Amino acid sequence: MPEETPQHRLNFALVNISTDQLDINPDIYAKGKATKINAGLNFGADNERRLLKVMLTNTFFHSESEKPLPDEADNPFINITLSCVFAIDPESWDMLADTEKKQVTLPRDLAGHFASITQSTARGVLHNQTENTEFNRFMIPANNITDIIPGNVTIAFRTKD
């Protein structure tokens, strides 16, 4: 009979939410014009404090073409960037961190889980900030954000300046 190996459950807490940027540009918005959304995702790690930061950006802009032109994407009528910081417990951090290489590696599904929490938080912030305005109809989609993460996410530790 194979020997059972205990699995450690990864323990974390959401410790900070920051709306890094929220720009709503009514002068750029054109009612009835086709709208596209670009999403961006970044990760950061602080080894000393065992913190993981996930930053999500969503830009809403007008474009009639299948593949937006750079000047269209660079001219959003809504631009939101939100960060969530997660504290990881020491035993869980040790499972993910490689102190010799000064990096932490998140399995793709775990990175997707943190990204999903951040995406949902951004969706709520955007709703709250646009409530009772014509921009409230623009929502961050409730899609599987893990799909934009190509593989495991390796993050270099934050270094002191």
Which CATH number is 31's domain given? 3.10.420.10
More reliable by pLDDT, 62 or 160? 62
Per-residue pLDDT band for 68 (boundaries 50, 70, 90) equals confident
The range of the structural domain enclosing residue 71 comes to: 12-156
Give me the percent of the chain exceeding a pLDDT of 70: 93
**pLDDT, mean over the chain:** 91
pLDDT of residue 4: 44
* Helix, strand, coil percentages in the chain from 3-state DSSP, rounded to 5: 25, 35, 35
The pLDDT assigned to 160 comes to: 63
Residue 89 lies in a domain: yes
Counting the structural domains of the chain, the total is: 1
pLDDT average, residue stretch 134-160:
91
2 is a domain residue: no
What is the average pLDDT across 47-62? Answer: 96
Residue at 34 is within a domain = yes
Q: Long-range CB contacts (< 8 A, 24+ apart) of 73-79?
A: 73/36, 73/38, 75/28, 76/23, 76/25, 76/28, 77/24, 77/25, 77/26, 77/28, 77/29, 77/135, 78/23, 78/24, 78/25, 78/126, 78/130, 78/135, 78/138, 79/21, 79/22, 79/23, 79/25
Residue 4 falls within a domain, yes or no?
Answer: no
2 pLDDT band, cuts 50/70/90, is very low
Reported confidence tier of residue 158, pLDDT bands at 50, 70, 90:
confident
Measured distance between the N- and C-terminal CA atoms of the chain, rounded to whole angstroms: 53
Confidence tier at 72 by pLDDT (50, 70, 90): confident
Residue 7 included in any domain: no
Q: Is residue 6 in a domain? A: no
Enclosing H/E stretch for 45: strand 35-46
Domain assignment present for residue 73? The answer is yes
127 in a structural domain: yes
Average pLDDT for 108-122: 97
